[in-house]
Amino acid sequence: MEGTIMFQTDSAYATLTSTALTHEQKLMNLAKEAENALDVLDIPPRAQHYFETGAINDLFEGHAPYRPRYILPDYPRFVEQGSEFLRLSPPQDLDELLNSLMILYRHVPSITNFPVYLGSLDQLIDPFLDGLSDEEVCKKLKLFLTYLDRTITDSFCHANLGPADTRAGRLLMRVAAQLQNTVPNLTVKYDPEVTPDSFMEEAIRCSLVCSNPAICNHQANRDYFDDYGIASCYNILPTGGGAYTLTRITLTKLAEEARDTEHFMEELLPECLRLIADYMNQRIRFIVEKSGFFASSFLVKEGLISADRFLPMFGVTGLAEAVNRLVASRGLVYGRDKEADDLGVAIMERIDREVAGFTAAYSPITGNRFLLHAQVGLDSDVGVTSGVRIPVGSEPESFADHLRHCARFHGFFPAGVGDIFPIASNVEQNPAALLDVVKGAFGLGVHYMSFYSDNTDLVRITGYLVKRSEMEKFRAHQAVLQNTTHLGTANYDTNHLERRKVRMV
């Protein structure tokens, strides 16, 4: 019932008295407690059942949505016009640009309370480099990127590069390799018709040093929206808009209820998908009709975002374990046996067909449809592999076979999908060979991939970065700056990410 208050005092007190949380982390946790004290959504009994089993998960969005989950402002427009609300004139040089961006980022909300998208930094910065030496630019970029890493204390934050080769892009990668920060995530949009090999080889060298940037298949993603950005982990969303909400179906948990494959496919799956769509529509309507966000935000009033460029993301995770459970009697394994993979494709085809039939509220940019997203997982997921990935320890021996498997599934997810590959450290001597792998993978239909060297301090957990050294501090019950270290440590340990198969090229 709307307005009901249910404050969890024990949980709030535990937050207040914690010695492993910073002041800011306590503040955000207490804010979430207050939000969850309200009950404004109507959850029917069958949906509640699936929430309790874990087949449906709202990914900590809270019981009373008051802002969109992911927001991607039109940063070029901000640079062109400045901001009346923030009392900022259009920047005239690099110092003014970086200062203005830092101020704006502080006022861009999201589900994490931090900006999840920082724009295409190379395109924003490159016009302001005339008359400056590389050394002068790098000094300014180091200060800028250090500020971001120390103040946006959540790794679900993303900046983009490419697809064009720019001086700014190369200098940003040079500085990123030197700093080895966890924030922001970087992704380079790669289009072989636009992006020169030398630029991509520089990106690969950088990624093998600091796990940034990941690589996006620009040709495969550019047709979904007139302009897109990669936000948070690897979420493909329209700029000037974003995502209202993201709720996921955990196929692993749903399969645990199934008597057999037919029961799973014909009864449980359609019912659960419909309930998720209904639930997300409730969230969307509350945000648009009751929260006041779009009526009050200066981002809307100044044309940096518009409600008609937001959409709902329909998350999918745990396909591997769902398939393995359904084919267990035949001794088949997802990622290794064709029959198991064929069932995985059949499940995704059914999900795609069902979700395409649902009407999404206030989502004209997608024709009022939900878009599928391969959800990366949670720190609490035990025995649930992110999205449609192959579980750690079950990867095919052949790197090429692994990529062929990825290609079978990536096309189902216009709102983002990705795979992660640790790479033997000696590959950094030959980035051209790894670029050939990328070209081949994208030619097969892979949409997004990321690398990190097997001996680097920075590790890509599911889509975000965490330092091994910071995880060690957290395991020793020390406070750490980034709250995603908390999530990453649990995920790394629970899912034994240290056992990912290291690929040779």
CA 302/CA 75 separation, integer angstroms: 11
Helix orientation angle between 134-151 and 94-105, rounded to the nearest 10 degrees: 10
Strand residue runs (E) in 145-281 = 158-161, 185-190, 214-217, 228-231, 235-238, 241-250
378 torsion bin: left (phi>0), alpha (psi -120 to 50), beta (else):
beta
Q: Which residue has the tokens 């179906």?
A: 249
> What local confidence, expressed as pLDDT, does residue 7 receive?
47
CB 150 within 8 A of CB 182: no
> What local confidence, expressed as pLDDT, does residue 428 receive?
65
Which of 7, 132, 154, 159 lies closest to 464 in space, CA to CA? 154
Q: Which two tokens stand for residue 456?
A: 């680097």
- Number of C-beta neighbours around residue 496 at 10 A: 11
Which of 441, 434, 365 lies closest to 402 in space, CA to CA? 441
What is the DSSP code string of 312-334? EEEEEE-HHHHHHHHTGGGT--T
CA 400/CA 406 separation, integer angstroms: 10
CA 404/CA 472 separation, integer angstroms: 35
CA 383/CA 252 separation, integer angstroms: 8
- Whole-model pTM: value is 0.93
Q: Which two tokens stand for residue 344?
A: 């995985």
Which of 153, 334, 360 lies closest to 247 in space, CA to CA? 360
In this structure, what are the phi and psi dihedrals at residue 183, rounded to the nearest 5 degrees?
A: -125, 135
Which of 116, 121, 346, 404 lies closest to 236 in space, CA to CA? 116
In this structure, what are the phi and psi dihedrals at residue 335, rounded to the nearest 5 degrees?
A: 90, -10
Strand residue runs (E) in 218-328 = 228-231, 235-238, 241-250, 310-317
Q: Which residue has the tokens 């509350």?
A: 286
Residue ranges of the chain with pLDDT lower than 50?
1-7
Ordered by start, the domain boundaries in the chain are 1-39
Instruction: Return the biggest CA–CA distance within the chain.
Output: 69
CB 404 within 8 A of CB 472: no
Q: Which two tokens stand for residue 40?
A: 């404004």
Instruction: Report, in angstroms and rounded to the nearest whole number, the Rg of the chain calculated over CA atoms.
Output: 22
CB 57 within 8 A of CB 378: yes
CA 171/CA 126 separation, integer angstroms: 10
Strand residue runs (E) in 318-408 = 371-374
Which of 498, 490, 428, 496 lies closest to 459 in space, CA to CA? 498
- ω before 115 within 30° of 0 (cis)? no
CB 209 within 8 A of CB 177: yes
57 DSSP assignment: E
CB 157 within 8 A of CB 186: no
CA 174/CA 206 separation, integer angstroms: 7
> What local confidence, expressed as pLDDT, does residue 89 receive?
98
Strands 38-39 and 4-5: antiparallel
CA 338/CA 348 separation, integer angstroms: 15
CA neighbours closer than 13 Å in the CB half-sphere of residue 134 = 9
> What local confidence, expressed as pLDDT, does residue 238 receive?
98
Strands 214-217 and 448-453: antiparallel
> What local confidence, expressed as pLDDT, does residue 38 receive?
87
